[in-house]
């Protein structure tokens, strides 16, 4: 029985051993994570491990460019240029790859494998997002000790300057939470290590060291920023302190006012993990990469990403789903028959609207992030009326969309479920949901931004054409 194979997918090293997970589980019925403890008595910190990986990855990229630099990744059509660049293969994004059939994979690990293998809190069953961040940065499953150290480091860096607190406190309650979020993140740029180092003329080979510090600072401070916004807009404005010996999700739940509910803390751990990264072509990820490529620091780049995430076609989608379900409940009742639900879905389509939460630009099966949330709901809230409606839609909508014939992927995506779970635990403020999405997305986009600077990626500058030039290019050619 072979426990390892050489992967054709190279990741953070000249070569990569990939675990034969089914065989490993037969030989080691405990967890794969425990095996990492065999290799070192003192676990390395994230920065120490990253310092080892950077020169290896730099050499790997040089080799790839030397051997394959002139090869084509595919053709670009006029339709792609007019169609939001969908299908154009033109970005490098190390942390995750979206497979049309299997869904998102983080360095070859599926959602289910991450839920199984990533370290968990002593009182929990869902993966800690700190572990997912370690995986995104290094391509490796961390030990529990390494994740605990990362949790402690996030807590130690979590304080925000008093002037940023004042800035958030002065925002009117009528200003959208995402606008406040972007504003506060931009203000945190005041203390950017990268911006200060660049002004002093630091060697470009050291850019990533300062950007790493900014990324760690920014991720660490987001619970305080996001929590303060929530407390000001929806509660009493009082912000409880971060607990230095608790994990990232627990502290965010505490600031929001929900840490007494163990199941909500577990949901937040799952939510922050599965929403963290989804390739590099989505709006928030690409915006971070684009703005960062100009050597803007992580605070400026991520603030720009949040403005993209705030759009109805990106991060606002989960609240659109909740509103649509509530409207459906108001029209047809809380316990409708399948036939009644089917009729309502058809009426939505016939009115020229879409069914929110269904379909995806890349996926051609049910989003595994949806499935993970559904598994959570079946365990923790199987009899909740809203969850029952979501389950009915899960069984009905794909068939209707298939019959309708205008949707390539009729299956539910992550947004079709997340809002209903938050509603169940009492976080009912729908305008705030995208803020939670933003906290999660920081883990994915900032992990890649670290590597962008470590690998010396240049400023993005794709070529653009005008419609007149396209017409001229193909004049006289046969159709």
Catalytic residue set: 314, 360, 415
Distances (CA, A) of 148 to 207, 362, 403, 430: 27, 35, 50, 32
Residue reference for tokens 């915006």: 287
Please, what is the Cα angle at 461 between 138 and 306, to 5 degrees? 60
- Residues in contact with 71: Cβ distance below 8 Å, sequence separation at least 6, in sequence order: none
Residue 415 CA to residue 271 CA, distance in Å, equals 11
Q: In which region does residue 287 sit, left (phi positive, over 0), alpha (psi from -120 to 50) or beta (all else)?
A: alpha
Task: Yes or no: say if 276 and 93 are a contact pair by the CB < 8 Å rule.
Answer: no
Q: Please give the sequence-ordered ranges of beta strands (E in DSSP) within 109-154, or none if there are none.
A: 109-110
Q: Which of 71, 72, 17, 20 is nearest to 39 (CA)?
A: 17
Residue-wise DSSP of 361-373: SS--S--HHHHHH
According to DSSP, the residues that pair with 6 across neighbouring strands are: 17
| Rounded CA separation 367/360 (Å) | 9
Burial grade of 50 (CB within 10 A; 0-12, 13-18, 19 or more): buried
Strands of 73-211 (E only): list them. 96-99, 103-106, 109-110
Structure token pair of residue 158:
């979590």
What are the helix (H) ranges across 200-282?
A: 207-234, 248-256, 262-274
Rg (CA), the chain: 23
Q: Are 139 and 109 in contact (CB under 8 A)?
A: no
Six token digits for residue 371: 């499935």
- Residue 330 phi/psi, 5° resolution? -65, -35
What's the CA gap between 51 and 471, in Å, rounded?
50
Side-chain half-sphere CA neighbours of 327 within 13 A: 12
- Nearest-angstrom CA–CA distance, 297 and 213: 11
């Amino acid at each position: 029985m072979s426990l390892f194979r050489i992967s054709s997918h190279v990741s953070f090293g000249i070569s990569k051993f990939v675990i034969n997970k089914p065989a490993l589980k037969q030989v080691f019925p405990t967890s794969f994570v425990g095996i990492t403890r065999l290799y070192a008595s003192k676990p390395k910190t994230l920065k120490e491990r990253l310092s080892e990986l950077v020169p290896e990855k730099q050499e790997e990229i040089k080799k790839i460019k030397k051997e394959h630099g002139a090869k084509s990744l595919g053709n670009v059509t006029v339709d792609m240029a007019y169609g939001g660049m969908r299908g154009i293969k033109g970005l490098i994004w190390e942390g995750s790859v979206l497979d049309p059939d299997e869904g998102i994979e983080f360095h070859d690990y599926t959602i289910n494998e991450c839920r199984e293998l990533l370290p968990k809190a002593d009182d929990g069953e869902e993966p800690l997002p700190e572990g997912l961040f370690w995986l995104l940065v290094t391509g490796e499953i961390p030990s529990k000790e390494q994740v605990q150290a990362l949790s402690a480091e996030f807590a130690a860096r979590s304080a925000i300057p008093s002037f940023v607190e004042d800035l958030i406190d002065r925002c009117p309650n009528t200003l959208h939470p995402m606008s406040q979020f972007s504003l506060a993140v931009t203000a945190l740029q005041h203390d950017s290590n990268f911006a200060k180092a660049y002004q002093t003329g630091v060697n470009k080979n050291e850019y990533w060291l300062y950007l790493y510090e900014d990324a760690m600072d920014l991720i660490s401070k987001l619970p305080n920023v996001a929590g303060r916004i929530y407390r000001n807009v929806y509660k009493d404005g009082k912000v409880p302190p971060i607990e230095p010996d608790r994990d990232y999700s627990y502290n965010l739940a505490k600031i929001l006012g929900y840490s007494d509910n163990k199941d909500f803390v577990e949901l937040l751990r799952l939510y922050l993990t599965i929403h963290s990264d989804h390739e590099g072509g989505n709006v928030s990820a690409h915006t971070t990469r684009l703005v960062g490529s100009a050597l803007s620091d992580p605070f400026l780049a991520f603030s720009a990403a949040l403005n993209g995430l705030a759009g109805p076609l990106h991060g606002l989608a989960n609240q659109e789903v909740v509103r649509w379900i509530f409207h459906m409940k108001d029209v047809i009742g809380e316990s409708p028959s399948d036939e009644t639900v089917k009729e309502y879905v058809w009426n939505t389509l016939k009115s020229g609207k879409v069914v929110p939460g269904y379909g995806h630009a890349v996926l051609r099966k049910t989003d595994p992030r949806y499935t993970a949330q559904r598994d959570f709901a079946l365990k923790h809230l199987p009899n909740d009326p809203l969850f029952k409606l979501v389950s009915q839609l899960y069984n009905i909508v794909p068939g209707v969309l298939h019959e309708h014939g205008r949707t390539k992927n009729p299956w539910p995506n992550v947004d079709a479920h997340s809002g209903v779970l938050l509603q169940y635990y009492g976080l009912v403020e729908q305008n705030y949901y995208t803020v939670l999405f933003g906290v999660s997305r920081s883990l994915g986009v900032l992990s890649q931004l670290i590597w962008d600077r470590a690998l010396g990626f240049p400023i993005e500058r794709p070529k653009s054409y005008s419609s007149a030039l396209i017409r001229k290019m193909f004049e006289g050619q046969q159709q």
